[in-house]
Structure 1
Amino acid sequence: MSLPIMIGWREWVSLPALGIPRLKAKIDTGARTSALHACHVEIIEKNSHQKQVRFVIHPQPRRFPKKAIPCTADLFDIREVTDSGGHKENRCVIQTTIVLGTQCWSIEITLTSRDNMRFRMLLGRTALKHRFTINPTYSYLHSKKTIIP
């Protein structure tokens, strides 16, 4: 069995199925689920058996304040999530592919407003489990290695 890959407390990731080539993510082992900043979230009917969620991402609001990426994904679930402040919120959940360094895998992501947060994405421990070890001394250990399929 090979050792898990070491990552820093923050890393660049991509979400290719959503058209997001590069996004800063905070690695958060205190959070069970992963969260993505999304605005204008709207649930739509794909067909009689499937719903989708439409939303907009602003991947680097400080550097490119007007850049907005419209996204659509299948709605996987709606879950009650408790944030770090103890507030409960019903969130849309999607499944999508994430790329970090040379690793590419499917994760569940909740959609929420992270307007007041520094990072547009939190990568929670469920997505990290059995893949990575986190060294909080370092940042962006894999930023130059992130491949975009």
Structure 2
Amino acid sequence: MANRIVLGWREWVSMPGLGIVGLRAKIDTGARSSALHVDAQWRYVEGGAPWVGFRLSPGAIGAGSIEGCAPVHDEREVTDSGGHRTQRVFVRARLRLAGVEREIEINLADRRGMRFPMLLGRTAMARVFTVDPARSFLHGKAAPGLAAPHSDPSPP
């Protein structure tokens, strides 16, 4: 436990493979899975495998949007904090936080009414991070914006 990196209850995260830099995330140990707000999503088949395309606006209104795509990793039922169950698509993406990069599972959701476009759940933090709920943005403010998408096939 002593070697774990301490996070505040909110942090700046990046997902360079999806073209996302400087996204505000709520760090939520009460949530098992992580969720990313998408404005729209659509399914298609590529090379015989299911894929999902999506569009999100990670920054301020008028700051631009990102269209991305990823293979569907899984699709399962998720119960939100209000007890509502919905079927969600899960993708895998590389998360960059506090100088650490790791592959995590993210479900795509409509988080339009939420203050944070990203919710980082406990499975994404396992064995690397711990949370101090009295603190926030401990690892600096990343410059919000878009990054050029790239693929990194190396394991976490």
- 2:153 is aligned to none
Contact 1:102/1:145 (CA < 8 Å) preserved in 2?
no
Q: What's the secondary structure of 1:79's corresponding residue?
A: strand
- 2:52 is aligned to 53
- 2:101 is aligned to 104
Q: What's the secondary structure of 1:115's corresponding residue?
A: coil
Q: 1:10 to 1:54 in 2, by over 3 A?
A: same
State the Cα deviation string for residues 41-91 of structure 1 (Å, max 9, x = none).
10110122x11100011112xx33351111111110111000000000000
Unaligned runs of 5+ in 1: none
Give 1:130's aligned amino acid. R
Q: How many residues align?
A: 145
Q: What's the secondary structure of 1:12's corresponding residue?
A: strand
Question: Which is further off, 89-98 or 63-72?
Answer: 63-72
Q: What is the Cα deviation at residue 101 of structure 1?
A: 1.8
Matched, 1:90 2:72: no
Q: What is the alpha-carbon distance in structure 2 between the residues aligned to residue 33 and residue 43 of structure 1?
A: 21
Q: What is the alpha-carbon distance in structure 2 between the residues aligned to residue 126 and residue 46 of structure 1?
A: 28
RMSD of the alignment, in Å? 1.9
Identity %, equivalent residues: 45
Q: What is the Cα deviation at residue 129 of structure 1?
A: 1.1
State the Cα deviation string for residues 82-136 of structure 1 (Å, max 9, x = none).
0000000000000010000210000000000000000000000011111111011
- Displaced runs of 4 or more, over 6 A: none
Unaligned runs of 5+ in 2: 151-156
Give 1:55's aligned amino acid. F
Q: What is the Cα deviation at residue 11 of structure 1?
A: 0.3
Contact 2:22/2:142 (CA < 8 Å) preserved in 1?
no
Give 1:117's aligned amino acid. M
